[in-house]
Amino acid sequence: MAYQTKQDHVAEILRERIVAGIYERGAKLKQADLAKELGVSITPVREALQLLEAEGFVVGLAHKGVLVPEFQKDHAQEIYDLRLNLERDLTTHALHALTADKIDELQRIQVLIDRAIQARRLDEIRTENYRFHFKLYELADRPQTLQFVRVLWAKYPFTSQDKNVARNEQVKVEHDFFLKKAAEGDHAGAVEAMVNHIKSGWSQLLAHQAVA
C-alpha cells in the first residue's frame, strides 16, 4: 500500500496492531506513548487516531487518549453478514487486477503466515492475515467499499480465536486454495473460495467462543 502522508502510515500500523491484538480490547492508548513507540511526532499520531476513531477502531476519551473498544457480541451476526457481502464484492472486482506479480506478493505474505504458524506467533499470524486480505481488496479500486470493510474489521472479534491452532493452520490452507483458483483464472472458483474462507472463520468463531 502506498501511503500518501505520515498520518496514513501511522494509521495503518495502528489498524494492524489492533486487529492483531497487540493493542487489546479495552486497552487505553496515549498519543505520547504511541509517538515514542513509532518514532514519530505527536501530530501524525493525533491525526491518525482521529481517523481511526471515525472508523471505529478506537473511542476517544476526554483528555485521556483513546480506548480500543470492547467487542459487542450482540452485533456479531450483522457484522459477519456485512463482511461476507462486501468482501465478496471486493474479491470479485480485485480478481480483474490480480496479475501474476500481485499473486506473487500474496504468496510472499503466505510464506510469512506459515512461518508465524510454525512458531506459534499469534500476533504475526493476525497481522499478515490482515495484510493478505487488504493487499487483495485494494486491487478492487472501490475505495468506499474498502473503507466500509475496514470499519467492519475494526468491530470483528478476530483475536477471540487465539487458542484455536487448527484454525490458524486452516487459514493458510484456505488462502492457498484461493490463490490456486485465481492463478488458474477461475474467478468464480476464487470468489467462492474467499466466501467459504470467511464462512469457515465465522463457523469456527461460533464453535469456540459462542458468540451467537
Starting at the edge strand found earlier in the chain, the sheet holding 28-29 runs 28-29, 66-67, 59-60
For residue range 183-201, list pLDDT tens digits in order. 999 999 999 999 999 999 9
The answer to whether 155 and 75 have CB atoms below 8 angstroms apart is yes
pLDDT band at 212 (very low <50, low <70, confident <90, very high): very low
For residue range 76-107, list pLDDT tens digits in order. 899 999 999 999 999 999 999 999 999 999 99
What are the φ and ψ backbone dihedral angles of 171, each rounded to 5 degrees? -55, -45
Cell of 30: 496515549
* 24 three-class SS: coil
Q: CB neighbours of 86 closer than 8 A, spacing ≥ 6?
A: 145, 148, 149, 152
Q: Residue 151 pLDDT > 80, yes or no?
A: yes
Q: Which residues on neighbouring strands pair with residue 28, listed in sequence order?
A: 67
Taking the model in full, what pTM does it have?
A: 0.85
pLDDT band at 13 (very low <50, low <70, confident <90, very high): very high
Cell 506459534, residue located: 120
pLDDT of residue 156: 83
pLDDT band at 163 (very low <50, low <70, confident <90, very high): low
The answer to whether 132 and 113 have CB atoms below 8 angstroms apart is yes
pLDDT of residue 211: 44
